[in-house]
Structure 1
């Protein structure tokens, strides 16, 4: 079974079209203003028009207010919510929409605890820790901290590119991989060839 691929942090129509044409399973929009990959609701409305049936649209939030998420859902046809901050399980689950929780891995046992805490999620995304940034660091972490016994689908992120995604999938056996910086020319500007190569390598396993 092919590992699913999410291309995150898209800001341009041509990048959305390229990701879809290359076979991405999911497209991620960042609704976190400090991020260089952030999009406004107006931008997201335009971009979303180019996402066809059977490609999931994911909205990434970092410690949002309830009102922010609700307003986004009114305007953008999100299939899945991704919470990448310090949100509680209760907060994540209140919107009547499927959701995944991202955690920034620092220590042994952290992933197992997250599986228990966020047991109502549709998946758990594991990313590299950075004291100042919530994802998009371009760094990987110690994959040996990832348990083989998983109660939720596991999504691997952090420092992935076409150079290492095959090996990452071979070692970790994730449900999906999530990439942003590894397929960019510059922050928020994707590279069409890098997107294509990444998806080819991810599906080679």
Structure 2
């Protein structure tokens, strides 16, 4: 099995960023929307200046942003990817693509009966899909998993559309082996590698150990 890509999201402090930058993650997520893990582009830029990127791709997470808000973050941080985590329209993503053709576009889609239909609709303007748990009143970071028996359906659909598909929601060191059995393209984690609301070195090590043990079978 090829190792799935890893994204550690919700890095809200210098300590979080330092742990993540020395991890095996491929992407680091920075949240610029209302959230308990929200940070500001200027603050994150200080961490990048201090610790660098270490080959990681920086991903800015937004919910119903203005184009000016996104462009400001892209300019300050030279974001590698922009993740839209709301109900942004295809026209909005198309316009962003036209204005900023270099950053990857990620579209978060909640797991429900309409998810595959939404993947088809957003495909022309999206590079990566992120399937997350659908929890009323929340847009991620809940620690709640959805039924992973659907992961192969999402992965196969993404492949037919020429896209990658990350899985989010409730993934942690204790259950990641179950998710790995579905061969996901990528895995997005936030609360699953935290303790007391902060990224935790031991949980990150345990998670990565289980990932590498599984893929080396």
- TM-score exceeds 0.5: yes
Distance 1:51 1:160, change over 3 A: farther
Structure 2, unmatched stretches of 5+, are: none
Of 165, 181, 186, the match for 1:176 = 186
Of structures 1 and 2, the one with the larger relative CO (CA 8 A, separation 6+) is 1
| Residue 53 of structure 1: how far off its partner (Å) | 4.5
Mark the CA change 1:63 to 1:14 in structure 2 (over 3 Å): closer, same or farther.
Answer: same
Report the TM-score, using the length of structure 1 for normalisation: 0.90
Partner of 2:116: 112
The answer (yes or no) to whether the contact 1:25–1:55 under 8 Å persists in 2 is: yes
What is the alpha-carbon distance in structure 2 between the residues aligned to residue 106 and residue 137 of structure 1? 16
What's 2:68 paired with? 67
Q: 1:200 to 1:20 in 2, by over 3 A?
A: farther
With normalisation by structure 2, the TM-score equals 0.86
CA contact (8 A) 2:7 2:188 kept: yes
Give the whole-Å Cα distance in 2 for the aligned partners of 1:61 and 1:91.
13
Whether the aligned pair in 2 keeps the contact of 1:31 and 1:60 (CA below 8 Å) is: yes
- Please state if 1:149 is matched with 2:156: yes
- Indicate the residue corresponding to 1:195 in structure 2: 204
**Gaps in structure 1 of 5+ consecutive residues:** none
Q: Any conservation in 2 of the 1:61–1:83 contact (CA below 8 Å)? A: yes
Aligned counterpart, 2:92? 91
How many correspondences in the alignment?
Answer: 200
Instruction: Please identify which structure carries the higher helix content.
Output: 2
Aligned structure 1 segments of 4 or more residues deviating by more than 4 angstroms: none
Contact 1:16–1:51 (CA under 8 A) maintained in structure 2: no
RMSD value, Cα:
1.6
Tell me how far apart the structure 2 counterparts of residues 186 and 65 of structure 1 sit (CA, whole Å): 32
